[in-house]
Amino acid sequence: MERSPIRASLVDEFRTDSRRGLCIGEVSALEIAERFGTPAYVYDARILQRNLVKVRAALGPRVEVLFALKANPSAAVAQVLRRAGAGCEVASAGEIQVAARAGFRGSQIQFAGPGKTALDIASALEMGIDALNVESEGEYELVLAHAPRCQERPRIAIRVNPATSPFGPRLRMSGPSTRFGVDEADVPGLLRRIARDAVCDLRGLHAYAGTQCFDAGAWLQNADHLCDLANRLELELDLALPCLNFGGGLGVSLFAHDSVLDLGNLGAGLRELLERDARPDRRYAVELGRYLAASAGVYLTRVLYAKKSAGRQHLILDGGMHHHAAAAGLGSVIRRPFPIVLARAPHAEPTERYAAGGPLCTPADEFAADIALPTVHPGDLIAVLGSGAYGLTFSPALFLGHPLPCEVLVDDECATIVRERGIPMDALRGQHLPDERGARTLLEPREARDDETT
Ligand SMILES: Cc1ncc(COP(=O)(O)O)c(C=O)c1O
């Protein structure tokens, strides 16, 4: 049966041995499952560090690398990347909390997201972040409203929706009409207003074209366009745009027949571009999620049952799309299985074909409709590779009331639990029945019932 080269290259990120099977760091997946239970997300600190080193080496010293926390809002994962030299990009007040817990200072944080609330903006400004990337005039007005309460001038940039953006990323977040950023044609007007108001410290421009871009040329065209635009606007409007953020989106090959991003090429192209930009005073940044985190994470789930239905073999797992929606195809136009291996024998010849899915009462809860694996038995441990980005954070965790999985960080020989496993009572977290004493109503009844007065 055919083996997927993508699966092989993701397995190769990890040590495997014939006795212990798949190891994350120096700890076998079997031992992790034994100690911490399943389902579990497991992250390898060394791979996170390695990915960051690889990207920084390719992009060169002029480019700051921020970790896009949305890819994996584990404070422990973010802390590993911070200690290895990354900054942080956040998308909510909650992510600001996570960034702070991971040890990031305000000056290491940028914020992007099309629907920032007053609370998001207040949290960002109070944290004194490096750049709040404004995505609409309305957002800018909220910044102005909050500014008098800030100790320092708010540092803002404009997220631009470029007028032209080559079709590179698989999922685009820019284009002719979009919720993201300020249309390029409207950027000069907003810049003029920011300059006139003189309330904020204008940092520069930001552009994020979309995720899963495998085409280095297309990614570079977006970066090139942002540099050109910034230089043109500086001249036209007589103002300074000292920081440019080129966004993220570097593609990670997860599926059979995926292309492979040529990081060397992208890095060389970017260095050349910055050379041409000839602005030694300018700061450049990228904000990467998937490229830093995806390959470092494994989702471990046990086979509860194996059964046959109409000639097909089904593996029913203790984990599923409520923890790992991306592996069940959410967010993808075409459903394709993530790289999946049998943890005790990741290199064993596949001999059987299985459908593998979780415990939810929906056919959508399926990681693979037809996957080749060695013979699998109930109790076996399945490892979904490439799960370090957009895993738990992208999943409908409340569906059916199963507890959250635990998260484990492995650094070499040391495996530490970094998110507790949930419990069934979590299904009731924050809930009240209307007649319970703790329940609150928006409009209190005019007269309290007798039995409610104490
Ligand atoms: C504004 C912004 N920046 C960065 C990212 C990270 O993208 P990726 O994980 O593809 O690098 C995203 C992802 O949606 C995003 O929306």
DSSP β-bridge partners for residue 183: 161
How confident is the model over 394-408, as a mean pLDDT? 97
> Cβ(95) to ligand 1 under 6 A?
no
Tens-place pLDDT, residues 39-76: 999 999 999 999 999 999 999 999 999 999 999 999 99
Choice between 449 and 55, residue whose per-residue pLDDT is larger: 55
Q: pLDDT at residue 190 above 70? A: yes
Q: What is the pLDDT of residues 269-286, one digit of tens each?
A: 999 999 999 999 999 999
Nearest to 314 by CA among 251, 371, 272, 255: 371
**Chain centroid, CA 424 distance in Å:** 27
Q: How far is CA 231 from CA 10, 102, 240, in A?
A: 41, 35, 9
Distance 32 CA to ligand 1 centre (A): 30
Residue 453 pLDDT more than 50? no
Cα(162)–Cα(9) distance, rounded to whole angstroms?
35
Amino acid at 308: K
Ligand 1 atom index nearest CA of 113? 1
Pairing verdict, β 131-134 and 381-384: unpaired
Protein residue whose Cα sits closest to atom 5 of ligand 1:
248
In whole angstroms, how far apart are CA 447 and each of 349, 437, 439, 450, 453? 73, 16, 16, 9, 10
Q: Does any ligand 1 atom lie closer than 6 A to the CB of residue 289?
A: yes
Ligand 1 lined by 124 (C-beta under 6 Å): no
Q: What is the pLDDT of residue 437?
A: 73
The alpha carbon of 219 and the centre of ligand 1 are apart by a number of angstroms equal to 13
Residue type at 178? T
Q: Which residues pair with 368 in a beta bridge?
A: 356
pLDDT > 90 fraction of the chain, expressed in percent and rounded: 85
- Establish whether residue 247 lines the binding site of ligand 1, counting it when its CB lies within 6 angstroms of any ligand atom: yes
- The whole-number pLDDT of residue 454 equals 39
| Any ligand 1 atom below 6 A from CB of 44 | no
Mean pLDDT, the chain, whole residue set = 93
For ligand 1, atom 9: residue with the closest CA: 289
Q: Which amino acid is at 323?
A: H
Whether 380 lines ligand 1, by a CB cut-off of 6 Å, is no
Pocket flag, ligand 1, residue 169 (CB < 6 Å)? no
Mean pLDDT across 295-307:
98
pLDDT for res 380: 98
**2 Cα: distance to centroid of ligand 1 (angstroms):** 33
Atom of ligand 1 nearest to the CA of 288: 11
- Give the pLDDT score at 445: 60
Enumerate residues 6+ apart whose C-beta is below 8 A from 67. Answer: 78, 81, 82, 86, 87, 88, 89, 287, 288, 289, 292, 293
Whether the pLDDT of residue 174 is over 90: the answer is no
Q: Whose CA is nearest to atom 10 of ligand 1?
A: 249
Only one residue has tokens 């421009």, namely 205
211 lines ligand 1 (CB under 6 A): yes
For residue 447, is pLDDT > 70? no
Tens digits of per-residue pLDDT, 364-385?
A: 999 999 999 999 999 999 999 9
Handedness of CA 372, 375, 378, 381 (dihedral sign): negative
The alpha carbon of 68 and the centre of ligand 1 are apart by a number of angstroms equal to 6
Q: Tens digit of pLDDT for each residue in 310-345? A: 999 999 999 999 999 999 999 887 888 999 999 999
Taking Cα atoms as reference points, which of 32, 129, 114, 47 lies closest to residue 387? 47
Segment 420-432 shows an average pLDDT of 96
pLDDT at residue 333 in the model:
77
**What does the block give as tokens for 157?**
């940039």
**Rg value, the chain, Cα:** 24
Confidence of residue 169 (pLDDT cuts 50, 70, 90): low
Encode pLDDT of 131-167 as tens digits: 999 999 999 999 999 999 999 999 999 999 999 866 5
pLDDT 10s digits, 67-116 = 999 999 999 999 999 999 999 999 999 999 999 999 999 999 999 999 99
Q: Write the pLDDT tens digit of every residue in 25-42.
A: 999 999 999 999 999 999
> Nearest residue CA, atom 6 of ligand 1?
289
Identify the pLDDT of residue 92: 98
Atom in ligand 1 nearest the alpha carbon of residue 206? 1
